[in-house]
Amino acid sequence: MTVPPAPWALLAEVTHACPLHCPYCSNPVELVRRSRELATADWERVFGEAADLGVVQAHVSGGEPLLRPDLAAIVAAAHRAGVYTQLVTSGVGLTATRLEELVKAGLNSVQLSVQDARAPGSDLIAGRVSYADKGRAAGVIRAAGVPFGLNVVLHRHNLDHLPEIIALGAAWGAERIELANVQFYGWALRNRAALLPAREQLDRAKATLAAHRDAHPEGGPELVWVMPDYYEGVPKPCMGGWGMRSITVGPDGTALPCPAAYAIEGLAPPNVRDRSLSWIWTESPAFAAYRGTGWMTGPCGTCPRRETDFGGCRCQAFALTGDAARTDPACSLSPDHHLIRDLVEGLHETAVDGGESRTAATVPSGFVYRRPT
Amino acid sequence: MPGEDVWRPVLDGSVVLRHDRVRGGDLLLMPERAVRLSGEGGRILRLCDGSRTVEGIIAELRGTFPDAPLGEEVPAFLERIRAEGWLR
Ligand code: SF4
């Protein structure tokens, strides 16, 4: 076995608990209960070991990380280890005092989520009133002067609001807006039919994006478009390759090459409670399983793109075909591509729409909200 | 005050410069991004603390690199980094 390159990034999912109930949640259907979460000392050790392995950046995420009362201690451990740390938050609970405590502990940047450009749509997706909290959180982040990114998951019910979403990001003072087309992992797969956009919506969104970039070549927030792989015929180069760049550690210490990999049956992911991160990265069977190109099946094995997209996403291959070693069905060369093509081909706007922009509040959502008991 | 409009480069608040002890070399870290600095990039940027002018930085480096064409290379490098938005 060849020694893998040093990892760059750690995704620390410190809790699955969350005040929001988003239908597109990519966390697993079975959430980790609070009683099984890692202790502060575990996270302190994980950050030290991660830095020793080569990790220089971390996303502290969840769930809602602010629900951990020891978040500042976790951030401080990351900072001591020299890791550049970004908080990924819904904004609910992000007061000036809390953010000050985190920045003092060494927090480097904040990514705030919002679900739509206006309150009704945003609150509808979040499954609770939260838009006003997010606006306040944006003010707090800006006042603290930390780098500020806004993340918006895009889908059928908000794609047509893209111009307003960009304007909101600028008004809130975000330096970066991540326009993340919805992906179907974990809970989100249950809501796929309600979330998949029409192709025309995506075409308009891309035109909006291009026009915005032309109009503001410099200045204004940087716009990052996370591609909708169902519509592109090419797969995502997921995680920069399985076990090549990044480690995810879940609330209970489960370590995975990708946050969606919880769902892959038979993977037997290691746990930081039992093993060092170094063993997990270099020796665990789970991290080796789909590393490189040796495991590839079907068209990937001889494809010129295999070192570019690594055969797409293992978690998506598993979710849609039951076999994580198959070519990602999002790839037009996949023998399973019909699973995606048949779904999106029928999704066109009807003339009845008449160009009226549809607002989420007037659309019967049919969402299955995430409401853990 | 004389020299008030003279540039005294300093890293942008979103950017952290650090040594990468695992891979060797220096890195600029920022949200969603890590940039590996080649050559003496890290050494130059460490002098960008907001107190030195570009001339001052060159003078400082002169001791270590007496024969290098610092007068052209350092300002060009600093301008490149400023254009990326990583230096102010
Ligand atoms: S066949 Fe495999 S390697 Fe080739 S483009 Fe599709 S997913 Fe990528």
User: Which residue is listed with tokens 């037009």?
Assistant: A332
A18 min Cα distance to partner chain B (Å)? 23
Which tokens is A230 given?
A: 């169902």
**What tens digit of pLDDT does each residue of A223-244 get?**
998 888 888 888 988 888 999 9
Which residue ranges form the domains of chain A, and what is each CATH number? 9-228 (3.20.20.70), 239-338 (no CATH)
Residues of B within an 8 Å Cβ radius of A: 13-14, 16, 18, 20, 22-23, 27, 29-32, 34
Q: Do B14 and A147 touch (CB under 8 A)?
A: yes
Per-residue confidence (pLDDT) for residue A188, from 0 to 100: 85
d(CA A266, CA A56) in angstroms, rounded, equals 30
Q: Is position B68 within any domain?
A: yes
User: Which residue is listed with tokens 């066109």?
Assistant: A348
Per-residue confidence (pLDDT) for residue A302, from 0 to 100: 92
d(CA A261, CA B63) in angstroms, rounded, equals 53
Q: Whose CA is nearest to atom 8 of ligand 1?
A: A311
Which tokens is A152 given?
A: 């918006």
Bridge partners, A247 (sequence order): A10
Per-residue confidence (pLDDT) for residue A361, from 0 to 100: 36
Bridge partners, A178 (sequence order): A151, A224
Q: Is position B32 within any domain?
A: yes
Q: Which residue of B has its CA nearest to A83?
A: B29
Strand, helix or coil for residue A74: helix
Contacts of A50 in chain B (CB under 8 A): none
Q: Whose CA is nearest to atom 3 of ligand 1?
A: A306
**What tens digit of pLDDT does each residue of A7-39 get?**
999 999 999 988 888 888 888 888 899 999 999
Q: Residue B3: which residues within 8 A CB-CB, separation 6 or more?
A: B53
Residue A35 phi, psi dihedral angles, 5° rounding: -70, -15
Mutate to test the interface with B, among A84, A109, A150 (most CBs of B within 10 A): A84
d(CA A172, CA A339) in angstroms, rounded, equals 40
Question: If we measure between CA atoms, which residue out of B20, B13, B12, B73 comes closest to residue B42?
Answer: B20
Domain that holds residue B68: 16-83
Q: Is position B11 within any domain?
A: no
Using the predicted structure, report yes or no on whether residue A214 has a pLDDT greater than 60: yes
**Which candidate from B13, B27, B31 shows the least CB-CB separation from A56?**
B27
Tally of CA atoms within 13 A in the half-sphere of A34 that contains its CB: 10
Q: Is position B58 within any domain?
A: yes
Mutate to test the interface with A, among B22, B26, B27 (most CBs of A within 10 A): B22
More reliable by pLDDT, A161 or B2: A161
Residues in contact with ligand 1 (CB, 6 Å cut-off): A 235, 299-300, 303, 305-306, 309, 311-312, 327-328, 331, 333
Q: What is the DSSP string of A105-164?
A: HT--EEEEE-SSSSHHHHHHHHTSS-HHHHHHHHHHHHHHT--EEEEEEE-TTTGGGHHH
Q: What is the pTM of this model?
A: 0.91
Q: Do B30 and A53 touch (CB under 8 A)?
A: no
Contacts of A109 in chain B (CB under 8 A): 14, 30-31
Q: Is position B2 within any domain?
A: no
Question: If we measure between CA atoms, which residue out of A159, A198, A211 comes closest to residue A181?
Answer: A159
d(CA A58, CA A342) in angstroms, rounded, equals 38
Domain count, chain B: 1
Neighbour order of strands in the sheet with A222-226 = A222-226, A176-181, A148-154, A109-113, A84-89, A57-61, A9-13, A246-249, A255-256
d(CA A245, CA A287) in angstroms, rounded, equals 11
**What does DSSP assign to residue A39?**
P
Neighbour order of strands in the sheet with B33-37 = B16-19, B26-30, B33-37
Per-residue confidence (pLDDT) for residue A352, from 0 to 100: 40
| Inter-CA distances, A321 with A54, A233, A288, A338, Å | 34, 17, 21, 11
To 5 degrees, how large is the angle CA A199–CA A165–CA A26? 65
pLDDT band at B30 (very low <50, low <70, confident <90, very high): very high
State yes or no: ipTM above 0.85. Answer: yes
User: Which residue is listed with tokens 């070399």?
Assistant: B25
**Which candidate from B13, B29, B31 shows the least CB-CB separation from A56?**
B29
Residue type, A162: L
pLDDT band at A204 (very low <50, low <70, confident <90, very high): very high
Contact A314, A329 (CB under 8 A): no
Q: Is position B3 within any domain?
A: no
Using the predicted structure, report yes or no on whether residue A47 has a pLDDT greater than 70: yes
Stretch A140-157: mean pLDDT, rounded?
A: 96
Using the predicted structure, report yes or no on whether residue A74 has a pLDDT greater than 90: yes
Q: Is B25 exposed, middle or buried (0-12, 13-18, 19+ CB in 10 A)?
A: middle
pLDDT band at B76 (very low <50, low <70, confident <90, very high): very high
Pairing of strands A148-154, A109-113: parallel
Q: Which residue of A has its CA nearest to B23?
A: A54
d(CA A201, CA B18) in angstroms, rounded, equals 43
Q: Do A56 and B14 touch (CB under 8 A)?
A: no
